[in-house]
Amino acid sequence: RPRCRAHAKVCLPFPAMVMAAAAPLPDIRPQPEAWKPSKVWHVTRGASGMWRGSPGAVLAVRLGAVGPGMLAVAAAVLGLHGRVQRPVRSGRRAAPPRPLGEFPLLGHLPLLGLDSIGLPAAEPTHLVLHRLARIYGDVMILRFGAQEVAVLSSPEAVEEALAAGGGMAAAGRPQLGSMRANGLCRGLSAPEPDADWRVLRGLVLREAFAQAAVERTRPLLEEEASRLVVGLREVAGRPVKVRPHIRRAAVSFLLRWALSLRPGAPEASRLENLIEEAWSLLTNPTTSVTDFVGVPGMSRLRQLRRERSDILRACIAERRNDPRARKQADFLDALLATQQKHRISDVLVESTLVELTTAGISTVAAAIEWLILLLAQHPTKQSAARRDIANAGHSEYLEACIQETLRLKTPLFVPRQCLDRIRVRGLTIPAGTLLLPQSYALAHDEVLWRGGPPDAFVPERFLDVEGPLMSLMPSVRSGCPFGGAGRPDAAAVGSSGDTAYKFLPFGTGARFCPGAGLALLEIRVFASALLTELAWRPGAALDLSEAYSLTLSPRRPCPLVFVARR
């Protein structure tokens, strides 16, 4: 009714079916043209057993954006599945709450994936999850197709879940169809931490990602950073989309570091193309849906995997058979040495190379792109970081900018899988459930973060401004100031109520990203080179909205204008 208000309450008998009013009334809802189902998801169970909610509690439909057909679909869906969250019966183990709005076969996927399929004014998936957590609490269950997913939205919930059973009860990795098609199902990506997994993880931590090994990559990183600067100098003075330049530099570095493939070599060029095409398919919203509903559609990914395997096997065979190709002191050499010692298979060697090149490119490239865009939006902070580099050679302010970028635009947490039943916040989560820590919600919690609004870019929140000199807070001084349980350098930063589990750009626990130290060094070296040699400003209005996929990337490549400083 036109006179009702958003705070109006109605009592619904259980079970009940509700159809939302479709008219966009500005006096009832702010921004009525925006598709935001979470606006009407404020439903709780009263003490009397009745369900209380705002009018239109099941589905919000804006006819102007979606069309009358969507209303018919909504009616059909509600007719088939018109129910709200069922209360937990006494005598059963306490289960986490389940948001209403499950669809037959698809579960909550349609409500979370509306933005991905291009529905006008739809909320991004990570923001929908963030809003749901505020309604249903720090542990809730969603259903993606037939798969149950526990969403964890507080540091305490994340710690309890990922530390259960000594950290191994939740150390499984879901084996989605797209991951299997891409070859990410063995080695470091194994669904369970078996003996091969432990051998390979120990190898990469000792041989590839120990602090001394990471520092040895600095000359190679500086060379690639110089090539990036040269490429941007060539287009200085006119708007350019920086994303292709950054990704090309990140791919080139990883292939040289892992396989000693020089830029421009036929194998390097072919691998670059295969990696880019595979990544575009993995991050396609259609792929995410088919992963959970069992619809076949991975033939192109499997073909790319075969072509990539042919190149990697040729590199491995050449390294074994050609004396001139040996002793490259790259990651492949370390893998082959471990293979001889522990008798691991060629399949595991290949899988590990695929894992590192897949995960090690896009996360770093997205972080560098976000940092460049945020410094373009805040020219005074860009100048401060540049001034610090020029004066000291190592910028603590730049380090704070990097940490703030990883917080504000935090990479999404790779889901885990429960290998055993666990209890989190007094609630029971059964074995086989996927665990999805809400790293974005944790990084944007106004209670956990101080120094400014959590949605603002404020590098100073990572700085100790009370001392005589501006310096990084002590907990940020280590090479990798996050990671949760099991890491000696795990510490919280910039907060009241410090906890390591609120800042998770590289995961935590048994599946903590082993390459976090290398990724941070890569970001530092590339950012330092860009700040030293170039200045930049927006070439058009900046769009800093986020696209939810395997990484949290800028929704659209933004044009920037670079200017050579010398």
pLDDT of residue 104: 86
Q: Which domains does the chain have, with CATH numbers?
A: 1-87 (no CATH), 187-564 (1.10.630.10)
Least-confidence region, from 137-141, 308-312, 455-459, 544-548: 544-548
CA 278 to centroid of chain Cα atoms: 17
Q: How many CB atoms lie within 10 A of CB 25?
A: 11
How far apart, in whole angstroms, are the C-alpha atoms of residue 124 and residue 103? 19
pTM of the model: 0.79
What whole-number distance in Å separates Cα of residue 49 and Cα of residue 52?
9
Residue 16 has pLDDT above 70, yes or no: no
Among 24-33, 131-140, 405-414, 441-450, which stretch is predicted with the lowest mean pLDDT?
24-33
Nearest in space to 421 (alpha carbons), one of 88, 148, 144, 105: 148
The set of residues, in sequence order, having a beta carbon less than 8 Å from that of 407 and lying 6+ positions away, is: 443, 449, 494, 503, 505
Dist CA 51 CA 232 (whole Å): 59
Kindly report the number of other CB atoms within 10 A of residue 539's CB atom: 17
Provide the pLDDT for residue 149: 94
DSSP state of 489: T
- Taking the C-alpha atoms of residue 463 and residue 474, their distance in angstroms, rounded to an integer, is 9
CB-based contact 405:503 (threshold 8 Å): no
Structure token pair of residue 200: 């390979």
Contact 275, 256 (CB under 8 A): no
pLDDT(1) > 70: no
Which pLDDT does position 236 carry in this prediction?
Answer: 94
CB 529 within 8 A of CB 519: no
How high is the pLDDT of residue 504?
87
Out of 115-119, 132-136, 189-193, 213-217, pick the least confident. Answer: 115-119
pLDDT at site 86: 42
Look up residue 193 and give its two tokens.
């931490």
What's the CA gap between 456 and 437, in Å, rounded?
Answer: 22
Q: Stretch 56-76: mean pLDDT, rounded? A: 36
pLDDT at 289 (0 to 100): 66
Residue pair 349/186 in contact by the 8 Å Cβ criterion: no
What Å distances lie between residue 288 and 114, 130, 179, 190, 490, CA to CA?
13, 19, 11, 20, 32
Q: How far apart are CA 384 and CA 561, in angstroms?
A: 19
pLDDT digits (tens, 9 = 90+) for 202-223: 878 887 788 888 999 999 999 9
pLDDT confidence tier of residue 374, bands split at 50, 70 and 90:
very high
Helices and strands per DSSP (H, E), number in the chain: 19, 16
Per-residue burial over 55-77, b if 16 or more Cβ lie within 10 Å, else e, is bbbbbbbbeeebeeebbebbeeb
Distance of CA 500 to the CA centre of its chain: 17
Percent of the chain surpassing pLDDT 90: 29
Of the two residues 469 and 315, the one the predictor is more confident about is 315
What is the crossing angle of helices 243-259 and 218-233, to 10°?
Answer: 150
The pLDDT tens digits of the residues spanning 423-437 come to 999 999 999 999 999
Please compute the mean of the pLDDT values over residues 311-334 and round it to a whole number: 80
Report the pLDDT value the prediction gives residue 69, as an integer from 0 to 100.
Answer: 41
Rounded Cα distance, 138 and 299, in Å? 38
Length of the chain: 566
- Helix residue ranges, H only, 393-489: 396-408, 439-443
**Is the pLDDT assigned to residue 235 strictly greater than 50?**
yes
Q: How far is CA 524 from each of CA 225, 365, 368, 397, 494, rounded to the nearest angstrom?
A: 10, 12, 9, 11, 20
The mean pLDDT value for 141-157 works out to 92
523 vs 133, residue with greater confidence: 523
How confident is the model over 117-121, as a mean pLDDT?
A: 55
DSSP string, 226-250: HHHHHHHHTTTTS-EE-HHHHHHHH
Q: What is the pLDDT of residues 72-106, one digit of tens each?
A: 344 334 333 333 344 344 345 688 999 888 888 88
- Judged against a pLDDT cut of 80, whether residue 330 lies above it is answered with yes
DSSP for 310-353?
Answer: HHHHHHHHHHHH-GGGS---SHHHHHHHHHHHH---HHHHHHHH
Spatial separation of the C-alpha atoms in residues 351 and 184, rounded to whole Å: 6
pLDDT of residue 93: 66
Mean pLDDT confidence for 151-172: 87
Comparing C-alpha atoms, which of 245, 282, 285 is closest to residue 357? 282
Specify which residues 473 forms β-bridges with: none
Residue 513 annotated as part of some ligand binding site: yes
